[in-house]
Amino acid sequence: MELKATSLGKHLAQHPYNRVRLLSAGVEVSGQKHEYLIPFNQLLAIRCKRGLVWGELEFSLPDGKVVRLHGTEWQETQRFYHYLNQAWQTWSQQMSLVAAEVLQQQVASLNQFEQQDRWLKRAEVADWQEKIQETFSSQPLPVVRLEEFDCCRDAYHLCQRWLENSEAQRQQRNERWTEKMVAQYADFFARVESSPLSAAQASAVVNGEEALLVLAGAGSGKTSVLVARAGWLLQRKAATAEQILLLAFGRQAAEEMSQRLQARLHNDDIEARTFHSLALHIIQQGSNKSPVISKLETDSERRQQLLIETWQQQCSEKKAQANGWRQWLQDELGWELDEGAYWQNARLVKRLGGRLERWLELIRMHGGAQAAMIESAPEAVRDLFSKRVKLMAPLLKAWKNALKEEGAIDFSGLIHQAIAIVEKGRFISPWKHILVDEFQDISPQRAALLAALRRQNSQTSLFAVGDDWQAIYRFCGAEMTLTTAFHHYFGEGERCVLDTTWRFNQRIGDIANEFIQRNPFQLKKTLNSPRKGDKKAISLLPDSQLEALLNKLSGYAAPDEQILILARYRHQQPALLTKARTRWPGLNISFATVHASKGRQADYVMLCGLTSGEEGFPAPARESIIEQALLPPPEDFPDAEERRLAYVAMTRAKKQVWLLFDSERPSSFVEELRAMGVPLLRKP
């Protein structure tokens, strides 16, 4: 059956198509020079229109394309349209049954997927989007027509929701599942730690993303979350103890974590490791060797002695070395040196020892060939960095010789060896879940070890707990962007925030939170406290009032309440503490540097040393070219890490914190805190 334009219609329409023919499952539109075949499975709509004289047929196709036939006699047009539309609709109804069957299979799979008793991951949803696209592409009908048919409509809409709003669908479904899990395991979450877990803590524990960052503010119970996470995996039989790897940064932290795990979970098979003990285990398993850790790594005095003696020997024996070091220390660090054999000056030696340790550690941490290390340095400092590395070369050689004589390995070498063994496939990772404490302190080298383990076992999830507000170890190689840009480095996943602190009151929290978030590079989060606290919970006080403050505290502080005095440097410990035991026998007083106070808490905290200048707080930037080249780049914000250090100090206090400042040369932080509403007291 076909329809043709009339002779006059053909002449007046001047259109490329003047004839349409009905085929078994489509139509053919043609003219003198053009021909267009339209299968029914590409046809979206047919419209019959009447012009002033003639009829018109319009065929709608995908991508907004329209094919028209003009100049046909109106009654013939109507008759042809009736038969064509009937044939098309009959074909469409038959095809809708096929489409419905395909859609129902997809819906059944989606329902099965959605109803699984587990967390639905982002990556899985992406896979399902691809499957839905495949289902749509295999339809005998154009996808946009599926909602025209009763047998297809609901299934099509369900698939479309997962396709267009997959993340919202996934989140809603996971929220329902989380609520179910928290209720189902309410007894576990109430008893796994000494205090019941909060809703935010429990939600973080059950989150099943492959890369999860738990931002745990000061006092928000991060250790509780780590313990509960391990217990949850065991409780759900998602992993055995041997498939769970817990990592801490220091030996003491790892030991405390292991004791807590065993006490709370009643499982002796689960323990926390340091990164170094992990690397040692990998080397032992992957090479059948048991490397010995150098005694130099645990003996700072011996370590400095080796470096200083080598340095002095180089300066005394080689004039070029002596001149090079003089230029380095004078020009770059601004140190005043003696004329002649300056390297024999005892005060200089004491000052330089720690610097040599740090520079050597950064070079060792980088690893690789010297030329590659120089090439990787920023171009602006590369030439000078090359000169500094050459001055350090004899010290590096002496270090390696000492290790060789000892038959031992240092910490940096340990991590590098472990990475190489994993990447060569000589160690097969048994861990399905890696849990890391204090993640903000991670260095690129340690991050590379985690990445190597996860590349080898693609099913390994990373559960990282940390707080970028407390990132205070950049000088040791820690890179904060591994936390602030977590998913860029460790893959797609989610971020949870523990929004309640159980340590300090809301007044301390409000000041500390505002102070730290003035740096736009810190991740934004809310940290609330169930305790309000009064305006004097945090206050500024002249450092001359420390003794008066302790006198006052001795009148009301209970014997079991702790008083922690903090300072930027160990040598800033107040002299009056030497008589504290007899002067205030009822007070429980201890002293620590702010760095050493990390992880500690006390009822009352006093931060000393808020002064300006060389030994001030914030400390002036004193990085050498070595640090500029080998440390992660700092944020473009004044005193960023010093601000985090002050935040750590403030948030050690449970009840009250005093910020003791130098009245003659106050720290720049003092005026800023005062402008934020921190009261400035004349006396306690």
178-204 pLDDT, tens digit per residue, is 999 999 999 999 999 999 999 999 999
Residue with tokens 């050690």: 652
At 70, the pLDDT band (50, 70, 90 cuts) reads confident
Shared domain for 638 and 577, answered yes or no, is yes
Q: What would the mean pLDDT of 62-68 be, rounded to a whole number? A: 92
Q: Does some domain include residue 14? A: yes
Find the DSSP H helices in 457-500: 481-484, 486-490
Shared domain for 379 and 434, answered yes or no, is no
Structural domain ending residue among the three candidates 358, 383, 409: 409
Shared domain for 222 and 318, answered yes or no, is no
Structural domain ending residue among the three candidates 449, 472, 498: 498
Shared domain for 303 and 404, answered yes or no, is yes
CB contact set of 243 (below 8 Å; sequence gap of 6+) = 430, 431, 432, 433
77: tokens are 């047009």
Q: Does some domain include residue 664? A: yes
Query: How does the average pLDDT of the chain come out, rounded?
Result: 93
- What is the C-alpha to C-alpha distance for residues 376 and 378, in angstroms, rounded to an integer? 7
User: What pLDDT, on the 0 to 100 scale, is given for residue 290?
Assistant: 86
User: What pLDDT, on the 0 to 100 scale, is given for residue 378?
Assistant: 87
Structural domain ending residue among the three candidates 351, 384, 409: 409
User: What pLDDT, on the 0 to 100 scale, is given for residue 14?
Assistant: 66
User: What pLDDT, on the 0 to 100 scale, is given for residue 288?
Assistant: 83
- What is the C-alpha to C-alpha distance for residues 379 and 54, in angstroms, rounded to an integer? 77
Judged on CB neighbours under 10 Å (0-12, 13-18, 19+), 256 is middle
User: What pLDDT, on the 0 to 100 scale, is given for residue 11?
Assistant: 62
Q: What would the mean pLDDT of 69-96 be, rounded to a whole number? A: 94
Return the percentage of the chain with pLDDT > 90, whole number.
Answer: 81
Shared domain for 284 and 162, answered yes or no, is no
Total domains, the chain? 4
For residue 298, pLDDT over 70 is answered with yes
Q: Are strands 55-60 and 66-72 parallel, antiparallel or unpaired?
A: antiparallel
Task: Tell me the three state secondary structure of residue 132.
Answer: helix
- What is the C-alpha to C-alpha distance for residues 472 and 596, in angstroms, rounded to an integer? 11
Buried/exposed code over 520-532 (b: 16+ C-beta within 10 A; e: otherwise): eebbebebebebe
The parent domain of residue 245 ranges over 196-293+426-498
Structure-derived torsion over alpha carbons of residues 624, 630, 636, 642, reported in degrees to the nearest 10: -70
Shared domain for 33 and 167, answered yes or no, is yes
Q: What would the mean pLDDT of 641-649 be, rounded to a whole number? A: 97
Q: What would the mean pLDDT of 656-678 be, rounded to a whole number? A: 96
Shared domain for 518 and 638, answered yes or no, is yes
pLDDT in tens, 545-604: 999 999 999 999 999 999 999 999 999 999 999 999 999 999 999 999 999 999 899 999
For residue 71, pLDDT over 90 is answered with no
Shared domain for 534 and 666, answered yes or no, is yes
Q: Does some domain include residue 21? A: yes
User: What pLDDT, on the 0 to 100 scale, is given for residue 277?
Assistant: 94
CB contact set of 484 (below 8 Å; sequence gap of 6+) = 468, 521, 522, 523
For residue 9, pLDDT over 70 is answered with no
Q: Does some domain include residue 419? A: no
Q: Does some domain include residue 485? A: yes
For residue 10, pLDDT over 80 is answered with no
* pTM score: 0.86
CATH of residue 649: 3.40.50.300
Shared domain for 241 and 261, answered yes or no, is yes
Q: Does some domain include residue 360? A: yes
Shared domain for 104 and 76, answered yes or no, is yes
Find the DSSP H helices in 408-458: 411-423, 444-456
Q: Does some domain include residue 110? A: yes
Q: What would the mean pLDDT of 668-677 be, rounded to a whole number? A: 96
Q: Does some domain include residue 417? A: no
At 459, the pLDDT band (50, 70, 90 cuts) reads confident
CATH of residue 115: 2.30.29.30
Q: Which among 296, 319, 323, 321 is positioned nearest to 311, based on CA atoms?
A: 321
Residue with tokens 């201890």: 590
For residue 1, pLDDT over 90 is answered with no
Shared domain for 494 and 511, answered yes or no, is no
User: What pLDDT, on the 0 to 100 scale, is given for residue 78?
Assistant: 94
Shared domain for 285 and 308, answered yes or no, is no
Write out 512-571 in H/E/C secondary structure: HHHHHCCCCCCCCCCCECCCCCCHHHEEEEEHHHHHHHHHHHHHHCCCCCEEEEEECCHH
